Amino acid sequence: MFLNRRIWIVLCTLGVAFGVPTEIVESPDSVNSTLEYDSQFCHPLVIGHRGASGYAPEHTLGSYALAALMGADYVEPDLVITKDRRLVARHDNELGLTTDVSLHPEFADRYTNKTIDGKQMSGWFTEDFTLAELKTLRAVERIPNIRPGNSRMDGAFQIPTFQEIIELIKGLESSQNRIIGLYPEIKHSTYFESLGLPMEQLVVDILHSYGYQGSHAPVYIQSFEINNLKRLKRMTGIRLLQLYDSPDMTPFDQIEKENAPTYADMATPEGLAEVAKYAYAVGPDKSYIIPRDAENNLGEPTTFVHDAHEAGLKVHPYTFRAENAFLPTDCRNKMYPNLSSALGNLAAEITAYFNAGIDGLFSDQPDIPVRIRTGCLRNIN
């Protein structure tokens, strides 16, 4: 546990190359060693949400590199798919929100209306573009009013493929001399499968091909759906995380089932025990852990973390953001409390969650949790 980082990297490489086969890693006995594995990272784990999306347009190589260089343990790409079955990183398959596609007259006829996970959407969609076409677009900031500093980089980056992200992280692992993990989310699984573009096997294949195998690999795969996680459990030993949307919602792949569970159902001790059968960890909206009160301040913690731990699950809530627009009232910038883009005291909000016993978190400003956590086994450069 206190070995030099170089030694850990060597061990990890050996582990990847000669490690325990998937089947055995999935056995209950392997959980302890997995827990030990994560202790090589600092605690709680810091996941750079969409990279360091508080500082650069989300899901760009620039954003991921900033997150890694700020000391994030993991970087989080959201994955969608192209017409020619290439995995690329966007939060949505709709491209108008985060690219300059609307300025490309050659793609004007791709503008269309779709129903995705039950929601009506208008725009341009990744599944209607080849990768070569997507590569002619440029990323822009999603929320320019809240992040004008990010908008300065509009046009500077392309849409990255998952492979390019893995290559970037491998290069940074080498230069930073530490393990940097990947935390991909499979978006709209059922929707893409209905188009004949299922993503799960592609995600697993590329991860396995880069040597990420078993629960010791520094990877989590996340989804808001259930069935695909259960399928993934049979396809790979890589750790899986069940995401939780609003309590009243039902995972999209479940809605046609009788007695389909809501996320609230899945957050009960019984629901968590069911999730623990296929997932290693849960990723709830942070309000599952500390709800806000009537003044939009942090209230009393719920039993969610305790219940999840009882079920044997790690807890990695989302999303911690430093701008006033997202903060509890008490944490807002004192000088500019009404300016949505002003940075407030995210450290205070995060500290409350650390105290609530979380095991990791997703943050758009990963430098902040990295700096305030204690008990790190490694130095951050």
Q: How far is the CB of 104 from a copy of itself (least distance, A)?
A: 15
153 vs 219, which CB is nearer to a copy of itself? 153
Q: How far is the CB of 84 from a copy of itself (least distance, A)?
A: 18
Beta bridge mates, 181: 74
Q: Is 91 considered catalytic here?
A: yes
191 contacts a copy of itself (rule: CB under 8 A): no
Count the site residues for a copy of itself by CB under 8 A. 38
The DSSP code sequence of 219-260 is: BEEEES-SHHHHHHHHH--SEEEEEE--TT---GGGTTSTTP
376 contacts a copy of itself (rule: CB under 8 A): no
139 contacts a copy of itself (rule: CB under 8 A): no
151/220 Cα distance (integer angstroms): 30
Angle between helices 162-176 and 200-209 (to 10 degrees): 30
Q: How many CB atoms lie within 10 A of CB 215?
A: 25
The correct pick among 155, 211, 247, 357 for binding a copy of itself (CB under 8 A) is 155
The correct pick among 12, 25, 45, 61 for binding a copy of itself (CB under 8 A) is 61
62 contacts a copy of itself (rule: CB under 8 A): yes
| Token digits of residue 347 | 């450290």
269 contacts a copy of itself (rule: CB under 8 A): no
Nearest Cα to Cα of residue 30 among 283, 215, 169, 212: 215
Angle, CA of 323, 65 and 209, to the nearest 5°: 125
* SS3 (DSSP) at 322: coil
The correct pick among 30, 102, 136, 158 for binding a copy of itself (CB under 8 A) is 158
Q: Is 306 considered catalytic here?
A: no
Residues lying near a copy of itself in the complex (CB under 8 A): 54-56, 60-62, 65-66, 69-70, 148-150, 152-153, 155-158, 160, 164, 167-177, 322, 343, 365, 367, 371, 381
Which residues are tagged catalytic? 49, 91
